[in-house]
Structure 1
Amino acid sequence: MEDEIDLSLIEPILEEYGDDKGSLITILQETQAIYNYLPAKALTYIAERMGISEAQVYGVATFYAQFRFRPVGKYLIMCCQGTACHVNGSENILTALEDELGIKVGETTDDKLFTIESVACLGCCSLAPVMMVNGQAYGQLTLDRVKEIIADYRSRG
């Protein structure tokens, strides 16, 4: 899959920012928006084009939790584990997601539809327990509601 990465897709980003080291985070964000993760081949190319070491690029990319190094599914599920969610049963919600999808946190289903991530806080404490699917918040979750939500997204393909 990595060999199939079309580096020409990030060329406009690199042309826009040139070798401005202060733009590395923005370049990484825009690169991730294109590929849905940061392919190693793209990180190497970014380092070469910016005239910096791969270690510097990887240092920035690994420091920030927003960056991913593996492709995610079509539907990225972020399950909140913050204090409000935790006291309202978020561990059970996460277990229900894993059981329903047959994967663990950080994994993607074989059909590439779903990826589960556990996050510290989604900022929707009044909806606890809460999860987001591609930015759409679902709150006051129950185990049955989780199954309904997953079934709905499965039906969309």
Structure 2
Amino acid sequence: MPRFPQEHYDALDAYIDNLPDRKGSLIRVLHQAQEIFGYLPKEVQLHIARKLDIPGAKVFGVVSFYSYFTTEPVGKYKISVCMGTACFVRNADKVLDVLKEELSIGTGETTEDGLFTLKDVRCVGACGLAPLVLINDQIYGHVTVEDARKLVKKYRKDHRDDH
């Protein structure tokens, strides 16, 4: 089971302790926890359940219901390819295939270096930009297969330049 620094738990506890009302705050707390820990493994979910005085099953249920939450470590760059109808008919499947090839991973997987996680997602509501790729919170519209290759190169270069 993963172990995290005590500072992570302290930061989460401080956030929870400063909530004006803990009742109905589970989703806010889960968002904050995922921000702090990077993902929501069972030990963090149980910590939240104890801290909010709610059943662990309720926390597990919410985490598993919402696709935003993840129970596995994710890469520094989370690449999401919209597979909604508008994007799909504009070759989002080919964009996804090229990203799988460039990253040597499948959907739902993270590269060995921990840099990229690749996901296919349902409609994100920006159909006019189809096909659409999200990298973390950055939106890229009208993405071609060649654009997808360039995006991977750009983010790899940005990462190298940061280190």
Q: TM-score, normalised by structure 2?
A: 0.90
Query: 1:17 is paired with a residue of what secondary structure?
Result: coil
Question: How far apart, CA to CA, are the structure 2 residues paired with 1:68 and 1:45?
Answer: 16
Match of 2:139 among 137, 140, 151: 137
Are the equivalent residues in 1 in contact too, given 2:107–2:118 (CA < 8 A)? yes
Shift of 1:143: 1.2
Are the equivalent residues in 2 in contact too, given 1:78–1:119 (CA < 8 A)? yes
Question: How far apart, CA to CA, are the structure 1 residues paired with 2:14 and 2:4?
Answer: 19
Shift of 1:136: 1.1
Matched, 1:117 2:111: no
Shift of 1:33: 1.4
Query: Structure 2: which 5+ runs fail to align?
Result: none
Query: Pairwise mapping of residues 1-157 of structure 1 onto structure 2 (< 5 A)?
Result: 2-6=2-6, 7-17=9-19, 20-157=22-159
Shift of 1:124: 2.0
Q: Which amino acid aligns with 1:113?
A: L
Q: Which amino acid aligns with 1:41?
A: E
Are the equivalent residues in 2 in contact too, given 1:19–1:50 (CA < 8 A)? no
Shift of 1:18: 7.8
Query: 2:139 is paired with a residue of what secondary structure?
Result: strand
Query: Structure 1: which 5+ runs fail to align?
Result: none
Query: 1:117 is paired with a residue of what secondary structure?
Result: strand
Question: How far apart, CA to CA, are the structure 2 residues paired with 1:48 and 1:116?
Answer: 32
Are the equivalent residues in 2 in contact too, given 1:105–1:118 (CA < 8 A)? yes
Structure 1 pair 103–126 and aligned structure 2 pair: CA distance change class (3 A): same
User: After alignment, is 36-45 or 93-102 more displaced?
Assistant: 36-45
Q: Which amino acid aligns with 1:42?
A: V
Are the equivalent residues in 2 in contact too, given 1:76–1:115 (CA < 8 A)? yes
CA RMSD of aligned residues (A): 1.6
Query: 1:2 is paired with a residue of what secondary structure?
Result: coil
Question: How far apart, CA to CA, are the structure 1 residues paired with 2:34 and 2:62?
Answer: 13
* Count of matched residue pairs: 157
Structure 1 pair 103–5 and aligned structure 2 pair: CA distance change class (3 A): farther
Aligned identity (percent) is 39
Question: How far apart, CA to CA, are the structure 2 residues paired with 1:87 and 1:68?
Answer: 28
